[in-house]
Amino acid sequence: METDLDPDPFVQFERWFDAAKAAGIAMPEAMTVATSGLEGEVSARVSLLKSFDHRGFVFYTNYNSRKAKQIHDNPRAALVFWWQSLERQVRIEGAVVRTTEEESDAYFATRPRGSQLGAWASEQSRVLAGRGALDARFEELSTTYKDVPIPRPPHWGGYRVIPLLFEFWQGRADRLHDRFWYRLRSDVKDWVVERLSP
């Protein structure tokens, strides 16, 4: 209901995200990230939300991946979170910018060692002749970085989606769902909240 919504969509998202975690939903941070290229081609994949605040929603990837190339060509994206047991969905649309080098470095340092090596070993989204080549590259890097810290690859880092629109969807009986969106009014920098027909 309207009276249950916080006027700040970031606060509202945090409430629902915390509820999804409290409900024991597996990987509540999993989100579909949709991007599109210059020719209008659209692609979507599941990525993991790593952090969020009033600056936006952050995920990390290979900067040579297909999604990164599309973001370079068209720096906009849509995110979708689906928490089935709560019958809740959140959609977010907005502009995309890279995180700072310092943010990417700090997050990379927290990753498991195997994931750090994987970021070096994988040429994400490129055709691979076979699994053997990937495994051999991983083993080579394991030897190279044995007993030393693994630096962040220059081709790997974060993106921040800066929301221009949020939609909160709550499932209800007879498909008469509750849908509300928050639209950013850029001229006055505030959010308009409106109910949408289901």
**Phi, psi (rounded to 5 degrees) for 28:** -65, -15
Residue 143, classified by CB atoms within 10 Å of its CB into exposed (0-12), middle (13-18) or buried (19+), is exposed
DSSP string of 129-143, one letter each residue = S-HHHHHHHHHHHHH
CA-based torsion, 25, 79, 117, 131: positive or negative: positive
Count CA within 13 A, CB hemisphere, residue 129.
5
Tokens of 153: 């690859």
User: Is-catalytic flag, 175?
Assistant: yes
Q: From the candidates 76, 98, 137, 175, which is the catalytic residue?
A: 175
Q: Which residues of 112-128 are buried (b: 16+ CB within 10 A; e: fewer)?
A: eeeebbbbbbbebbeee
Tokens of 18: 């915390």
DSSP single-letter state for residue 99: P
Whole-number Å distance between alpha carbons of 43 and 20: 26
The residues annotated with a catalytic role in the active site are: 175
